[in-house]
Amino acid sequence: MNQALDSAGKGIMIQDVNRKVVFFNHACEEITRWSKEKIVGKDCGDIFQCHTSTGMCLTEKFCPGVDIFQGKFSKTSRELMITRGDGSESWIEANASAIRDAEGRVTHIVTIMEDIRERKKFADEILKSKTLSTLGTFAAELAHEIKNPLNAMNIQMLVLEREIQDTHKLSSKSKKEFLEIVSIVQKEVIRLSGFVEECLQFSRTGELNKSLVNMGEMLNEIASLLLPQAQLNGIYVEVDVMHALPKVKVDKDKMKQAILNILINGIEAMPDGGELRMGVQYSRDGILISCQDTGPGIPDEIQDKIFNLFYTTKNGGTGIGLSFAQNIVQAHGGTLQLEQTSKGSKFIIVIPVDENTY
């Protein structure tokens, strides 16, 4: 009997009335990375340090095993996060049932355990996809609602500016004060217009118009666009392009904007000068595009948040740029990742290449 249970495909764990583990099969060892020698005879809660899917710790009060022993339920099913033998955390689904004696008293609990990491990951990706789609629709509606009033405000500010300059009733001091107010309003209108444009960009990430593009030529075009601002900031720009690059099918305008978003962040991170390097090469993984700056870098504690929509640490930042860049790259079947460097930040874009294009 024990041999059959030990060779079962799913994890099987049996506990006695004191919640001590009396049986722990091979599949449980693989799922939890705890050996049966370290588990048998122990309270599983002390070993696994279980949490529910909401993050609530399963103490004595909330343990599903206790509910069965107390007769509240004859079986329970929960998704739990456990601490594995190697210190990592993992999601499992635990289906626990009561084993009763002839008098109907619960003597043991048998738990069928399954690794659900991939299922959780897939569900999170689906949720993220739906959330981003909803946000994209909202961003488009918001942008269209704001754009027309902003245009009207800008026109009125231009008219007001001209009227102030032409009037002879105001002193030079009053003119200067009014023009300063107009200038402030105009700057805010420009800033909001930029936010609106970023919202519109984000809402259109799913609409790709692909064509064969030489990414080396695209990087040189991007460098030409960035060079004036970089020179003003005392930043040296370098482009390194591998020879004989295969062309890749991308939406040129969107991919260019995605790369620009990354590099503009790099320029803004170096107000006192530095180096901005971009490169492209071909490998078996596809086209690899690197964007690197020599700024202060991104702190470890926020590196997992930088691609989140609306997350920003910059004054006046929108938190859309990197999220837009990642969405565009992923829409092309590629990846965008932050790579650890000794100084500054380095982003790597990988875009798969169709073998028929070279």
The CATH number assigned to the domain holding 199 equals 1.10.287
Q: Which domain holds residue 164?
A: 121-203
Do residues 347 and 215 share a domain? yes
Token match 């482009």: residue?
A: 239
Do residues 224 and 327 share a domain? yes
Residue at which a domain ends, from 88, 115, 142: 115
Distances in Å between the Cα of 207 and the Cα atoms of 12, 253, 327 are: 48, 11, 11
Do residues 186 and 231 share a domain? no
Q: Confirm if 217 and 247 have CB atoms less than 8 A apart.
A: no
Do residues 26 and 100 share a domain? yes
Do residues 166 and 215 share a domain? no
Token match 């009033």: residue?
A: 149
- pLDDT for the residue 240: 92
Q: Confirm if 296 and 285 have CB atoms less than 8 A apart.
A: no
- pLDDT for the residue 290: 93
- pLDDT for the residue 131: 52
Beta-sheet strand order (sheet of 106-115): 21-24, 11-16, 106-115, 89-100, 75-83, 51-52
Residue 74: how many other CB atoms lie within 10 Å: 12
Token match 């049966």: residue?
A: 36
- pLDDT for the residue 237: 92
- pLDDT for the residue 219: 93
Of 290, 309, 260, the residue nearest 351 (C-alpha): 290
- pLDDT for the residue 235: 92
Do residues 74 and 127 share a domain? no
In the beta sheet, which residues pair with residue 14? 23, 110
- pLDDT for the residue 43: 84
Do residues 219 and 311 share a domain? yes
**Count of domains observed in the chain:** 3
Do residues 101 and 161 share a domain? no
Do residues 174 and 66 share a domain? no
**Helices (runs of H) and strands (runs of E) counted in the chain:** 10, 13
Do residues 185 and 218 share a domain? no
Residue at which a domain ends, from 62, 97, 115: 115
Encode pLDDT of 20-59 as tens digits: 899 888 889 998 898 889 889 988 777 787 766 555 566 5
The CATH number assigned to the domain holding 216 equals 3.30.565.10
The one-digit pLDDT tens for each residue of the chain (358 residues) are 555 565 666 788 888 888 889 988 888 999 889 888 988 998 877 778 776 655 556 655 556 677 677 766 667 777 788 888 888 888 888 888 888 888 888 888 888 888 888 877 766 665 555 555 555 555 665 665 566 666 666 676 776 777 677 666 666 766 677 777 767 676 666 666 666 666 566 555 556 788 899 999 999 999 988 888 888 889 999 999 988 888 898 988 888 888 988 898 889 889 899 999 999 999 887 899 999 999 888 777 766 777 776 656 555 555 666 777 888 888 888 888 888 777 888 999 998 886 545 4
Do residues 321 and 249 share a domain? yes
Residue at which a domain ends, from 161, 185, 203: 203
- pLDDT for the residue 168: 64
- pLDDT for the residue 217: 92
Distances in Å between the Cα of 277 and the Cα atoms of 192, 267, 299, 339 are: 30, 11, 20, 14
Do residues 160 and 219 share a domain? no
